[in-house]
Amino acid sequence: QVCGLKWSHDDRQLASGGNDNQVTGSNRLLVWNQQSQQPILKLTEHTAAVKAITWSPHQSGLLASGGGTADRCIRFWNTTTGHQLNHIDTGSQVCNLAWSKNVNELVSTHGYSQNQIMVWKYPSLSKVATLTGHSLRVLYLAMSPDGQTIVTGAGDETLRFWNVFPSMKTPAPVKATGLWSLGRTHIR
């Protein structure tokens, strides 16, 4: 079962996450290129469904993937060598991942058991922030075009806006009005 798909920023590789636990006993992260009908990498270290996938915009071939409830880990891969670079146990199901385009940090959203959002510095994997407010799994994540704000959607039927990442340039302050001023949480 395919659970996640994400193209690399250079459009050369596609990562697909799976939930093959019932059939093979493994949960695979596959990396494909456009020249082959077979995956160029089969990464089987996750122990639960791999739904969350993101490519670094800062380093070519750097892929992060997140595992489900029984795994709880974010794993970092060098897709050039096929080696796992690092991993961190987040303590709960990893539902979604997104890398900041402005700084070398990524955001993860979580389900059982904590239903929260975490921001991580890379490569140290130190936690920058833990954001709470959703009462059920944080299933969806979108980043604004300027790379500063994320929007999360959860099983509790709410959307939450979070100012998470700094801007690439520091513009003059803009007064928030309308929809953008509702329920926005700043962490910096």
**pLDDT surpassing 70 at residue 14:** yes
pLDDT in tens, 77-103: 999 999 999 999 999 999 999 999 999
Centre a 10 Å sphere on the Cβ of residue 170 and count the other Cβ atoms it contains: 7
Q: What would the two tokens of residue 93 be?
A: 């199901």
- pTM for the full predicted model: 0.87
pLDDT digits (tens, 9 = 90+) for 44-58: 999 999 999 999 999
Beta bridge partners of 97: 108
**CB 123: neighbour CB atoms within 10 A?**
12
**Average pLDDT, integer, range 27-50:** 92
Residue 141, sorted as left (phi over 0), alpha (psi -120 to 50) or beta, turns out to be: beta
The H helix count followed by the E strand count for the chain is: 1, 16
Domains of the chain listed by start with CATH number: 2-140 (2.130.10.10)
pLDDT value of position 173? 52
